Structure 1
Amino acid sequence: MTSARMGSREVNGREQLVPDHEVVIIGAGFGGIGAGVELNKKGIDDYVILEKWDAAGGTWHANKYPGVAVDIPTFIYSFSYDQKTTWSKFFTPGDELEEYAQELVDKHGLRDKIRFNTRVVRQAFDETCNMWRISLEGDSEITARHVIAATGGLEQPKLPEIDGLDTYQGVLMHTALWDKDVQLAGKRVAVIGTGATSLQLVPEIAEEVSHLTVFQRTPIYVGPKPDLKYNRFWRALFGFPGLAKGIRHAINLSTAYTPDALWRLDSKYVESASMFVANRIRAWMRSQVDDPVTREKLLPYYGFGCKRPSFSNTYLKTFNRPNVALATEPIQRITEKGLLTADGVEHEVDVLICATGFHLWEHTPAFPVSGRGGKDLQGFFQVNRYQAYQGVSIPDYPNLYMVTGPYGYVFGPYHMLIESTTAHAARVIAETKKRGTTTAEVKQDVHDAYFHKMHERNKNHLWLSPACATSNTYYIDDHGDSPFRPGGFGEMYYHNKYFPLDNYRYSAETAAPATKSRSTRKRNKEVVG
Structure 2
Amino acid sequence: MLPPIRPRTQRSEAFLAVGREPSGVLTKMKNRRARALPLKPHKTLEKNASQRSSAILMEEDFVNSVRSGSPRFIIVGAGMSGLCMAIRLKQAGFDNVTVLESSDEVGGTWHKNTYPNAGCDIPSYLYCYSFAPNYDWSMKYARQPEILAYFRNCVERFSLRPHLRFRTTVRAATFDEDTATWQVTTDAGDRLTAEFLVSAVGQLNRPNIPAIPGIESFAGASWHSARWNHEFDLTDKTVAVIGNGASAIQFVPEVARQAGRTLVFQRTPSWIHPLHNYRYPHWARWMFRTLPICARAHRSWIYLMCDMRVFAFRSGSKLNLEYARWLRSRMRKVIPPEQWSTLIPDYAPGCKRVLLSSDYLQTLQRDDVDVISDHVDRFDADAVLTSNQRYPIDAAIFATGFQANAFLQPLDIRGRNGQSLDDAWAGRPKAYGGIAVAGFPNLFLLYGPNTNLGHNSIIFMVERQVGYITKCLRRMQNTGARRIEVRKDAMECYDREIQQQLASSIWAGDCTSWYKTADGSIPNNWSGSATAFWRRMKKAKHTDFEISR
Paired position in structure 2 for 1:376: 420
- Per the TM alignment, residue 231 of structure 1 is displaced from its structure 2 partner at its CA by 1.9
Closer/same/farther in 2, CA of residues 256 and 184 from structure 1, 3 Å limit = closer
Mapped pair 1:169 → 2:209: no
C-alpha contact 1:70 1:92 (8 A) present in aligned 2 = yes
1:289-330 CA-to-partner distances (Å, cap 9, x unmatched) read: 24x433431111110111111111111111221211111111
1:141-181 CA-to-partner distances (Å, cap 9, x unmatched) read: 21111111111111100002311111111111001111211
Q: Distance in 1 between matches of 2:513 and 2:345?
A: 12
Alignment of 1:275-290 (within 5 A): 275-290=321-336
- Listed as ranges, the gaps of 5+ residues in structure 2 are 1-68
Q: Judge which range, 361-370 or 414-423, deviates more.
A: 361-370
Mapped pair 1:301 → 2:346: yes
Paired position in structure 1 for 2:32: none
Corresponding residue to 1:473 among 513, 523, 527: 513
Closer/same/farther in 2, CA of residues 137 and 21 from structure 1, 3 Å limit = farther
Closer/same/farther in 2, CA of residues 258 and 99 from structure 1, 3 Å limit = closer
Q: Distance in 2 between matches of 1:254 and 1:339?
A: 43
Alignment of 1:66-85 (within 5 A): 66-85=116-135
Closer/same/farther in 2, CA of residues 457 and 377 from structure 1, 3 Å limit = same
Q: Judge which range, 96-105 or 490-499, deviates more.
A: 490-499
Corresponding residue to 2:386 among 319, 328, 341: 341
State the identity as a percent: 28
1:195-244 CA-to-partner distances (Å, cap 9, x unmatched) read: 01000010011111111101010110112111111221321343322122
Q: Distance in 2 between matches of 1:89 and 1:361?
A: 32
- Per the TM alignment, residue 493 of structure 1 is displaced from its structure 2 partner at its CA by 1.8
- Per the TM alignment, residue 111 of structure 1 is displaced from its structure 2 partner at its CA by 1.2
Alignment of 1:198-237 (within 5 A): 198-237=248-287
Corresponding residue to 1:396 among 417, 430, 439: 439
Aligned pair count? 478
Q: Distance in 1 between matches of 2:279 and 2:304?
A: 26
Corresponding residue to 2:161 among 94, 97, 111: 111
Q: Distance in 2 between matches of 1:490 and 1:273?
A: 19
Alignment of 1:50-65 (within 5 A): 50-65=100-115
Mapped pair 1:100 → 2:100: no
TM-score, structure 1 normalization: 0.86
What letter is aligned with 1:354? F
- Per the TM alignment, residue 340 of structure 1 is displaced from its structure 2 partner at its CA by 0.5
Paired position in structure 2 for 1:519: none
Q: Distance in 2 between matches of 1:198 and 1:257?
A: 27
Paired position in structure 2 for 1:500: 541
What letter is aligned with 2:283? F
What letter is aligned with 1:245? R
Q: Distance in 1 between matches of 2:219 and 2:265?
A: 19
What letter is aligned with 1:442? V
What letter is aligned with 1:476? K
C-alpha contact 1:23 1:145 (8 A) present in aligned 2 = yes
Corresponding residue to 2:501 among 454, 457, 479: 457
Corresponding residue to 1:444 among 488, 497, 503: 488
Q: Judge which range, 400-409 or 20-29, deviates more.
A: 20-29
SS at match of 1:34: helix
Paired position in structure 1 for 2:466: 422
Closer/same/farther in 2, CA of residues 342 and 364 from structure 1, 3 Å limit = farther
C-alpha contact 1:186 1:209 (8 A) present in aligned 2 = yes
Closer/same/farther in 2, CA of residues 206 and 361 from structure 1, 3 Å limit = same
Paired position in structure 2 for 1:45: 95
What letter is aligned with 2:367? P
Alignment of 1:174-189 (within 5 A): 174-189=224-239
- Per the TM alignment, residue 364 of structure 1 is displaced from its structure 2 partner at its CA by 4.2
- Per the TM alignment, residue 386 of structure 1 is displaced from its structure 2 partner at its CA by 2.2
Q: Distance in 1 between matches of 2:498 and 2:340?
A: 39
What letter is aligned with 1:398? P
SS at match of 1:36: helix
Corresponding residue to 2:400 among 326, 346, 356: 356
Mapped pair 1:367 → 2:408: no
C-alpha contact 1:156 1:366 (8 A) present in aligned 2 = no
SS at match of 2:546: strand
Q: Distance in 2 between matches of 1:161 and 1:108?
A: 43
Q: Distance in 2 between matches of 1:491 and 1:323?
A: 47
Q: Distance in 1 between matches of 2:495 and 2:534?
A: 17
Q: Distance in 1 between matches of 2:130 and 2:345?
A: 35
Q: Judge which range, 471-480 or 134-143, deviates more.
A: 471-480
SS at match of 1:102: helix
Q: Distance in 1 between matches of 2:321 and 2:387?
A: 31
- Per the TM alignment, residue 104 of structure 1 is displaced from its structure 2 partner at its CA by 0.7
1:478-528 CA-to-partner distances (Å, cap 9, x unmatched) read: 4422232222222322332312334321223xxxxxxxxxxxxxxxxxxxx
Closer/same/farther in 2, CA of residues 496 and 366 from structure 1, 3 Å limit = farther
Mapped pair 1:148 → 2:193: no
Corresponding residue to 1:36 among 82, 86, 94: 86
Paired position in structure 2 for 1:524: none
- Per the TM alignment, residue 256 of structure 1 is displaced from its structure 2 partner at its CA by 6.0
- Listed as ranges, the gaps of 5+ residues in structure 1 are 1-18, 509-529
- Per the TM alignment, residue 408 of structure 1 is displaced from its structure 2 partner at its CA by 3.0
- Per the TM alignment, residue 71 of structure 1 is displaced from its structure 2 partner at its CA by 1.1
Paired position in structure 2 for 1:246: 297
- Per the TM alignment, residue 363 of structure 1 is displaced from its structure 2 partner at its CA by 4.7
SS at match of 2:538: helix
Q: Distance in 2 between matches of 1:258 and 1:185?
A: 41
C-alpha contact 1:363 1:378 (8 A) present in aligned 2 = no
SS at match of 1:475: coil
What letter is aligned with 1:54? D
C-alpha contact 1:189 1:349 (8 A) present in aligned 2 = yes
C-alpha contact 2:242 2:399 (8 A) present in aligned 1 = yes
What letter is aligned with 1:98? L
Q: Judge which range, 272-281 or 40-49, deviates more.
A: 272-281
- Per the TM alignment, residue 251 of structure 1 is displaced from its structure 2 partner at its CA by 3.9
C-alpha contact 1:20 1:142 (8 A) present in aligned 2 = no
- Per the TM alignment, residue 339 of structure 1 is displaced from its structure 2 partner at its CA by 0.7
Q: Distance in 1 between matches of 2:392 and 2:430?
A: 44
SS at match of 1:505: strand
- Per the TM alignment, residue 366 of structure 1 is displaced from its structure 2 partner at its CA by 4.5
Closer/same/farther in 2, CA of residues 363 and 88 from structure 1, 3 Å limit = same
SS at match of 1:332: strand
Closer/same/farther in 2, CA of residues 166 and 137 from structure 1, 3 Å limit = same
C-alpha contact 2:437 2:491 (8 A) present in aligned 1 = yes
C-alpha contact 2:70 2:94 (8 A) present in aligned 1 = no
Q: Distance in 2 between matches of 1:150 and 1:364?
A: 9
SS at match of 2:125: coil
Alignment of 1:306-325 (within 5 A): 306-325=351-370
- Per the TM alignment, residue 351 of structure 1 is displaced from its structure 2 partner at its CA by 0.9
Q: Distance in 2 between matches of 1:338 and 1:138?
A: 40
Paired position in structure 1 for 2:527: 486
- Per the TM alignment, residue 41 of structure 1 is displaced from its structure 2 partner at its CA by 2.6
